[in-house]
């Protein structure tokens, strides 16, 4: 990874959102949104491709997100095909078209799907931690990280081809959005998955301008002031 990209990532906790209300000519702003909380998120269960709905907190997070992004005029919003992402997208879409893309769905975690991400499933979770970033490991009946990364990269390329400027949003998952950033910033897949951890109510903004390295901002709210 180049020093140019590293310098961009160093600035990724900058104040949010720069020039959010009006799109600049020749500039594409990509808002990367993680879905709101589900019961499995709350219970610290590994969710994967299981199609859970938002819980009460997640519904509120989605509504609050709509308030925060109310000043952004989106040209189009893309979501994964899973309900928790589609419902989060609907909360701030207004009249903007939402296009579900199954290529943005979360990965199936095979035999590990539904285990607890703490001591309640200590043995299984330890094994999962060792295997989840191995590119060709399909986790005993799930999907490999390389397969997921390939389809997410294809989705990002398709989106980029259709939008050269303006404002768009991608609403997906904790395991998908690092891969979106991997594709946009040319970060190795395993590194992106192991190092980028997006909360349920966090938003990233990637600004793409012809001839320049992408710029990255992260929404900082009261609960994450330490990240300033």
Q: Tell me the C-alpha to C-alpha distance, in Å, between residue 1 and each of 8, 24, 31, 189, 194.
A: 12, 28, 23, 11, 15
> Tokens 């509120």 map to which residue?
60
Which residue is catalytic, options 21, 24, 25, 35? 35
Peptide bond into 58 cis (omega under 30): no
Q: What is the dihedral of CA 80, 157, 73, 35, to 10 degrees?
A: 20
Q: Smallest Cα–Cα separation from 176: which of 91, 112, 84?
A: 84
Which residue is catalytic, options 103, 106, 117, 143? 106
Q: For helices 3-10 and 177-185, what crossing angle results, to 10°?
A: 130
- CA 65, chain centre distance (Å): 14
* Burial tier of 123 (Cβ tally within 10 Å: 0-12, 13-18, 19+): exposed
113 annotated active-site: no
Report whether 9 contacts 224 (CB < 8 A). Answer: no
163 annotated active-site: no
Active-site positions read 35, 106
């Amino acid at each position: 990874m180049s020093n140019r990209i590293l310098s961009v990532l160093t600035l990724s906790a900058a104040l949010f959102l720069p020039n959010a209300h009006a799109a600049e000519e020749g500039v594409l702003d990509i808002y990367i949104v993680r879905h709101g909380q589900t019961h499995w998120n709350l219970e610290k269960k590994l969710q994967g491709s299981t199609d859970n709905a938002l819980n009460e907190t997640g519904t509120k997070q989605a509504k609050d997100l709509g308030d925060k992004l109310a000043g952004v005029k989106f040209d189009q919003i893309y979501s994964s095909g899973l309900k928790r992402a589609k419902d989060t997208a609907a909360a701030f879409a207004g009249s903007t078209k939402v296009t579900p893309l199954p290529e943005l769905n979360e990965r199936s975690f095979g035999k590990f799907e539904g285990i607890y991400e703490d001591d309640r499933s200590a043995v299984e979770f330890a094994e999962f931690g060792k295997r989840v970033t191995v590119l060709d490991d399909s986790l005993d009946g799930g999907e490999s990280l390389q397969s997921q990364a390939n389809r997410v990269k294809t989705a990002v390329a398709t989106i980029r081809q259709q939008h050269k400027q303006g404002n768009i949003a991608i609403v997906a998952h904790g395991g998908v959005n690092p891969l979106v950033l991997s594709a946009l910033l040319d970060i190795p897949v395993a590194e992106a998955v192991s190092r980028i951890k997006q909360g349920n109510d966090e938003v990233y903004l990637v600004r793409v301008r012809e001839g320049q390295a992408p710029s990255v901002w992260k929404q900082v709210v009261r609960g994450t002031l330490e990240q300033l």
